Amino acid sequence: MLPNFGSQSETGKIFNILLKHPKDAFLSDENIEKHWQKLNYSSAPEFDKAVEEYDSFVKILKKEVHEFYYLPKDDRTGLDSIYTHDPVIITKKGAILCTMGKFDRQGEPGAIAPILADIGIPVLGAITGDGTLEGGDVVWLNEKTLAVGMGYRTNFEGIRQLKDLTSDFVDNFIVVTLPHWKGPDDVLHLMSMISPVDDDLAVIYSPLMPVPFRQGLIELGIKLIEVPDAEYDNMACNILAIAPRKVVMLTGNPNTKKMLEAEGVTVYEYEGKEISFKGAGGPTCLTRPLLRE
């Protein structure tokens, strides 16, 4: 019998997944209008269109994923809670609750904790005190190798605590210093520049990638697909593997899609104007796999 949690991979087949529907995150056009500017969205998402896009996105996930858990509406959370990847990390020993670097998201880990208890996922630990850590900065390169981006959302203390919490089962802990890019008000996670597609294949955006980290990926035997400049802003580097070499990505990135297909990757596309582009959260951000093969 399979356990119901454990996800020390970015590419294994997803069995269980945690989501939050825009009906419970965005709530309404009126609620969106109150909050989108403060949260640094590029413009206000349209609620009905967001619901339509999200339902189409979930329909794609159902091609591989068979068990879905949904976070309910919670007064501690806001529009950003649709991006369930960031507040929690799932290991084979249990969940690690994050402390969000974005102040307006700090209620999200606490809102997730009781849902994890209901599912039967133990909490291994939490990032506390001055530490900040967001899931988008945490990338499993393999079951024993964990890369963590240090930038405006994840700080040194958060990384130190994560390293302590995972020391029993992570052999290679890599800290990647992130660039300033567009500044502290913008979102730049480690996953903004890398999306693993299989154990030996990843999509990357090299102009943002530190040389030692890029070289380290090659040394691990990972072939790199280079996202072109013209498609980076279209979130071509934010790709969700729902199984090895089966991915979900945003429409409008034909060159990246062509390179993926040349490597034998099955590519599913979704429209994400409302649920992804306006809040800067792609298919990986929208999902928190709980159990991967």
Domain boundaries, the chain: 14-292
Structure confidence at residue 163 (pLDDT): 98
Secondary structure class of 129 (helix, strand, coil): coil
Cα 129 from chain centre: 23
Quick: pLDDT tens for 199-247: 999 999 999 999 999 999 999 999 999 999 999 999 999 999 999 999 9
Quick: pLDDT tens for 9-33: 999 999 999 999 999 999 999 999 9
Q: Where are the beta strands (DSSP E) in the chain?
A: 14-19, 67-70, 88-91, 94-97, 123-126, 138-142, 145-150, 172-177, 194-198, 201-204, 223-226, 240-243, 246-250, 266-270, 288-292
Query: What's the rounded Cα separation, in Å, for the pair 234 and 252?
Result: 7
Structure confidence at residue 186 (pLDDT): 86
Q: Report the number of secondary-structure helices (H) and strands (E) in the chain.
A: 8, 15
Structure confidence at residue 97 (pLDDT): 98
- Domain 14-292 sits in CATH at 3.75.10.10
Structure confidence at residue 185 (pLDDT): 84
Where b means 16+ CB within 10 Å and e means fewer, 243-272 reads bbbbbbbbebbeebbebbeeeebebbbbbb
Which parts of the chain register pLDDT below 50?
A: none
Q: Does the reported pTM lie above 0.75? A: yes
Structure confidence at residue 2 (pLDDT): 57
